[in-house]
Structure 1
Amino acid sequence: MLDPARSFDIIGDVHGCAQTLERLLDTLGYARVGGVWRHPRRQALFLGDIVDRGPRIREALHIVHDMVEAGQAFCIMGNHEYNALAWETPALPGSGKAYVREHTPRHARLIDETLTQFAQHPGDWHDFLAWFYEMPLFVDAGRFRLVHACWDPLLIEPLRQQYPRGCIDEHFVQASAVSGSFASNVCNRLLRGTDMRLPDGLTLTGGDGLTRAFFRTKFWEEDPQTYGDIVFQPDALPAEVASAPLSHTQKNALLRYEEEEPLLFVGHYWRSGRPTPIRPNLACLDYSAVLYGKLVAYRLDDETRIDPHKFVWVDVDRPQDTQ
């Protein structure tokens, strides 16, 4: 687990950008010794989504896995690791599905790059799938917390009772195929975050080319009044939607992460611009590395509020990870 004798470098979504990851580790003072990136005083903490989209997915997984095995890193599960397990896991009989994550063209598109890069390495893929089950869905270290998308204590506490380490199993993944089940709610909320349906049957096609009827929402806003107050994604809402008022029911359904809670680090949300805290106790470290943004880390020592000066990043050039 986490090494309490060390300080930590918390790293956002890698998405197969292995060369960029090595540049970031080098910038952070890690060195490759015996084939493993190591630091004498620090431990890397990855926020998940090592797989999918990028040009060197298998290489990125080997870097992170080898660091974890050597005690130099720790990695939680992202929605893309969960998606891979769900894609490969047969659904329960009588569910009407062949696999937990149905093999639709949309789902195939998201995992295609990963499967292509592992096509000649089926043993490797099998081993990594097994390793994904060793990634917890959350970490609560007391003064700080890690989750890929959203911290929801009403789901995390019962999950902790069932799985004390936060690591789920194949039965849980199969159960997550049932919409509205506890397993489904856990995987959706912790790994994908909170969302809200667009009004009046509207859909929105994002920068990733996917069309959605929902948009990602903030889970910390104190007194939101409009749809625009709670949107948390790169794709803007249409002006008429952004200015539309939230109903009383919608406001009451929103999750809130209070300012007196421990430090919380998430990935997942495709931010842009200069890395900065969202709030004094909340930071997102996903800055769209695979879309030629930034691969970002936060250097956590003993502070109890996020220091804007402790973000470290490398910019992703197109030649770097596409040559």
Structure 2
Amino acid sequence: MLDPARSYDLIGDVHGCALTLEHLLDKLGYRKQGGVWRHPSRMAVFLGDIIDRGPRIREALHIVHDMVEAGQALCVMGNHEFNALGWVTPAAPGGGRHFVREHTPRHARLINETLAQFEQYPKDWHDFLAWFYEMPLFIDAGRFRVVHACWDAGLIEPLRAQYPDGCIDEHFLQASAVPGSFANNVFDRLLRGTDMRLPHGLTMTSGDGLTRSFFRTKFWEDDPQTYGDIVFQPDALPEPVARTPLSSAEKNNLLRYGVDEPLLFVGHYWRSGKPAPIRSNLACLDYSAVLYGRLVAYRLDQETRLDPDKFVWVYVERPEVQQ
């Protein structure tokens, strides 16, 4: 899929901020030719979550899709593209549900903006849903890797054996509706990341208004001691919880992406502040664009360790996130 000698621009979660995406592509030296954003020597790699939340979801999908079709970009699947497929796909018989992703008020709230913007464009929506199946769940280019939320070799290797290009089908999507199944574990880990249950039955209401009993965790810490050492989400843990020591079993269950493994790029995690590497071989490029944050790219050439000076971003202007 990838030319090892080529240079790439890895781009974080767009979430319907099409104007900001065009500003970023322009800043990166891409120019619109024949209706497609192109660069004379580089290629864009999108980290998923093109849809939902933002004001120009359809336009953002056209930009990314047209670049992919023209050989100017690649795009991995994000959890929001997976959610959209699950929303429209009937569940397999006998599972006790109507759709792979149940039509609950909570799930509806996440996809409603996308459905509303496509209401007058049903053919477009049908075509994009079909395209989502062409988005691989991961890219392994040897010297670097791309996945929306978390690289778990224990799941990726058997997935690669079943789907060598990383692109799944409707059967696999339907299988993901079964809790604890391989397909369910793949989507949950690769597209949502690792998490841990809050102790003592506690729950947290996050900044997006959703109440959860789990918190997102780091998957690279070598020697964490407390819950606070592994939390990886915008919402901090309550101080008493953050100070709670991890048990030996909890430590042993943590996934660890080694410091000597290839460069890894993820999105998903709603970071803030100045974009920078998490460590020398790991970068998250989701800096909360649709929350008036930054749309971020990393300009990858032949380096084997991340360069803090190669992050490029544009701020999301207020008019972008207003209809």
TM-score band, normalised by the shorter chain? over 0.9
Asked if the contact 1:86–1:99 (Cα under 8 Å) also holds between the matched residues in 2, the reply is yes
Structure 2 CA distance, aligned partners of 1:5 and 1:243? 46
Amino acid corresponding to residue 103 of structure 2 in structure 1: H
Aligned to 2:257: 257
Aligned to 1:177: 177
TM-superposed deviation, 1:321: 3.5
Would you say 1:13 and 2:13 are equivalent positions? yes
Asked if the contact 1:17–1:57 (Cα under 8 Å) also holds between the matched residues in 2, the reply is yes
Asked if the contact 1:15–1:290 (Cα under 8 Å) also holds between the matched residues in 2, the reply is yes
Q: How does 1:121-136 map to 2 (within 5 A)?
A: 121-136=121-136
Q: How does 1:143-292 map to 2 (within 5 A)?
A: 143-292=143-292
1:232-262 Cα shifts (integer Å, max 9, x gaps): 0000100110011111110000000000000
TM-superposed deviation, 1:3: 4.0
Asked if the contact 1:19–1:321 (Cα under 8 Å) also holds between the matched residues in 2, the reply is no
Asked if the contact 1:3–1:43 (Cα under 8 Å) also holds between the matched residues in 2, the reply is no
Identity level (%):
80
Amino acid corresponding to residue 71 of structure 1 in structure 2: G
May I ask how many residue pairs the two structures share in their alignment? Answer: 323
TM-superposed deviation, 1:318: 1.0
Would you say 1:117 and 2:117 are equivalent positions? yes
Aligned to 1:58: 58
Amino acid corresponding to residue 288 of structure 2 in structure 1: S
Structure 2 CA distance, aligned partners of 1:320 and 1:180? 40
Structure 2 CA distance, aligned partners of 1:319 and 1:70? 30
1:175-215 Cα shifts (integer Å, max 9, x gaps): 00000000000000000000000111111111111111100
Structure 1 CA distance, aligned partners of 2:65 and 2:2? 15
Amino acid corresponding to residue 302 of structure 2 in structure 1: D
TM-superposed deviation, 1:319: 2.0
Structure 2 CA distance, aligned partners of 1:4 and 1:249? 40
Amino acid corresponding to residue 241 of structure 2 in structure 1: V
TM-superposed deviation, 1:4: 4.0
Q: How does 1:37-52 map to 2 (within 5 A)?
A: 37-52=37-52
1:42-98 Cα shifts (integer Å, max 9, x gaps): 000000000000000000000000000000000000000000001111001000000
Amino acid corresponding to residue 224 of structure 1 in structure 2: P
> What SS class does the counterpart of residue 37 from structure 1 fall into?
strand
TM-superposed deviation, 1:317: 1.8
Unaligned runs of 5+ in 1: none
> What SS class does the counterpart of residue 86 from structure 2 fall into?
helix
1:101-124 Cα shifts (integer Å, max 9, x gaps): 000000000000000000111110
Structure 2 CA distance, aligned partners of 1:20 and 1:48? 16
Unaligned runs of 5+ in 2: none
Would you say 1:137 and 2:137 are equivalent positions? yes
Would you say 1:32 and 2:68 are equivalent positions? no
Structure 1 CA distance, aligned partners of 2:4 and 2:251? 39
TM-superposed deviation, 1:2: 2.7
RMSD between aligned residues: 0.8
TM-superposed deviation, 1:5: 4.9
Aligned to 1:75: 75
> What SS class does the counterpart of residue 229 from structure 2 fall into?
helix
Give TM-score scaled by structure 2 length.
0.99
Per the alignment, do residues 156 and 209 of structure 1 end up closer, same or farther by CA in structure 2, a change over 3 Å counting? same
Aligned to 2:294: 294
Structure 1 CA distance, aligned partners of 2:3 and 2:26? 21
Structure 2 CA distance, aligned partners of 1:217 and 1:188? 13
Asked if the contact 2:55–2:320 (Cα under 8 Å) also holds between the matched residues in 1, the reply is no
Asked if the contact 2:17–2:320 (Cα under 8 Å) also holds between the matched residues in 1, the reply is no
